[in-house]
Amino acid sequence: MVRLREVTIIKDPSLMNEKIGPFKIRKLLPLALGGMLGYGMIRKGAVEDIVVGVIVIVASLIIALGPDRALSLENQLQAMAYYYLLKPKPSSQKPKKEAKPKKTKPSNDANPQGGNEVSG
């Protein structure tokens, strides 16, 4: 006789999906890193550094507050790295094509009517 057992299916057991308040760690990590980097850049005081710091903070806010996607940011970055680092390099030699003999039509210059008769 077959026994049925209860099974709990875990959707995604990753630590990155644990919630801290309203956010997941997956969302808080870029927010924290972007905030620290942006704040450090802004504290330098140069105009270029302030602009870069604001851009970094805005980008981290977009990542943290944006919608969940089917492909997470770290998976997308990993796929991009694999694509650009491991893609096959094009070969320097072009593949040789086999020369096909051309079919020629017999010329009908001798007899314009199209017959094969030889006049004599």
Domain annotation covers residue 78:
yes
Query: What residues make up the domain containing 71?
Result: 15-86
| Rounded average pLDDT over 100-115 | 61
Q: What is the 3-state secondary structure (H, E, C) of the chain?
A: CCCCCCCCCCCCCCHHHCEECCEEHHHHHHHHHHHHHHHHHHHHCCHHHHHHHHHHHHHHHHHHHCCCCCCCHHHHHHHHHHHHHHCCCCCCCCCCCCCCCCCCCCCCCCCCCCCCCCCC
pLDDT digits over 58-85, tens only? 988 887 887 776 667 677 778 888 888 8
Q: Count the domains in the chain.
A: 1
Asked whether residue 42 is domain-assigned, the answer is yes
Q: What is the mean pLDDT of the chain?
A: 77
Domain-embedded: residue 47: yes
